[in-house]
Amino acid sequence: MKRKIECLAFSVLLLMSANIWGCTKQKGVEDSPSKKKGYVTKAYKEYFGTPVRQYPDVTYYVTFYAYSGQEPFFAGKVKPIPKETDVTENLPGLATSKLLLDPPLNEPMLARLTDPKTRLISVKAKNGTATVNFSKEILDSQVGAWGEGAVIAGLTNTLCQFGELEQVRIEIEGKDKGAIGDRRIEDFLGHISLLEQPFKPDKETVIATEQEGAIETVKKFLEDVKKDNAYMYLSKETKADVGTEREFKEEKKSDLHKIINKGHSEWMSPRVTDAKFRRKEAEITIGGNRTIDGQYRENDNASFKLLRENGKWKIDFGETFEATPPKQAEQEIITGPANINRVQLEQIQATVDQGHQPWRLDPQTVAMTEGAIFGFDRSRDSFMLVSRIDRGQNSGTGEALVEAVHKGNAYQIFIMQPVKADKSGIWAISSVKKK
């Protein structure tokens, strides 16, 4: 009884959402032959399996939200998020409205890409094609080519899980060509023409939970290397080569412990540049700035082979593994304003709010860590916090000044709180100036 009451309340809310977005009732767009009973879509089964507790009046489906694209590999990719509802009419319209309305708040890497004023006018299904009609405000969405690709990937993968739908067409105010004001409808968001319609789903754009887990494993590994906790990430085969954790750390059977700590202890905000997945294997490539033996290396990269063992990803270090690529010339200090990416900083703030990367709450540590982007070397340069105020007269937010000495030359590193001005706000470098 409790479950039915919850479903009834949820149904009312979702029906209100569908009415607000102007979704119209369509026929022949569900997987189930009965419109009065719930079911599990093929996409749900593919990415999440059969629900542990399946209710006969509930439909289990998937909404594919776009990644923010701040990391190269995630540009244009989408993530499947499980959903459920006991609404059985016009599920394509309902799923599309959810796609526009509410990217999960606990997923900092996901983003809403369309302009907030965009309305979903209708979703109609005919002969295997879903036609999605948006209001003209979608043309005001500010996205790059990757963002436009993610919008289409989200729509196609979400809609084509229902019934016999195989492809998607997009309309603006009921048209797929012509003009609205000074905007050409067929240009859509500026990179992918609507003349290329219809669009079909591409599974290569989907990053499943298991695949994201492999990427997250590499990131956690790089963090834990600094704490000398690399052993728990090693594959069974690698552990067999290096022995017990004590033998691994004492380098009795292998010098892998030395190689790992030397090569991966000083990455500065590495980003995933490529990822290849097989059934139980993965290869993750990261790029970014790092130091090895105190030497700063800009735009460096490294690849990791992972094996799936007992439901967890483990890193496998074979004989061909090389932790230290050829040396690069040390970079001079770059002065001037920093490249401020508001979306990325908001995502970092959300990550810090969840208890991660607490060092971003200290301006001096930020100067020492993020300063590597400008050419500073925290292992050899000196850093001193000169001033810090809670609210600058012009900026209206927290400001700090750190002075650094690099090769005998003094520099001023200006730091500010770009998202919120309080004790929980992150700090970021705004500019660097030679003193």
Q: What's the pLDDT tens digit per position in 164-200?
A: 899 999 999 999 999 998 889 999 988 889 998 999 9
On whether the CB atoms of residues 207 and 74 are closer than 8 A, the answer is yes
Instruction: Report d(CA 102, CA 87) in Å as an integer.
Output: 18
Percent of the chain's residues with pLDDT above 90: 46
On whether the CB atoms of residues 399 and 416 are closer than 8 A, the answer is yes
Task: Please calculate the CA angle 362-110-351 and round it to the nearest 5 degrees.
Answer: 20
In the predicted structure, residue 354 carries a pLDDT above the cut 70: yes
Q: Express each pLDDT in 271-286 by its tens digit.
A: 898 899 988 999 999 9
Please give the sequence-ordered ranges of beta strands (E in DSSP) within 293-381, or none if there are none: 295-309, 312-315, 336-337
The answer, as to whether pTM is greater than 0.85, is no
* Average pLDDT of the residues in 405-418: 92
Domains of the chain, first to last: 2-205 (no CATH), 211-315 (3.10.450.100), 336-434 (no CATH)
pLDDT of 80 reads 95
φ and ψ at 362, to 5 degrees?
-120, 115
Picking from 29-33, 225-229, 375-379, which range would have the lowest pLDDT averaged per residue?
Answer: 29-33
Picking from 22-36, 55-69, 228-242, which range would have the lowest pLDDT averaged per residue?
Answer: 22-36
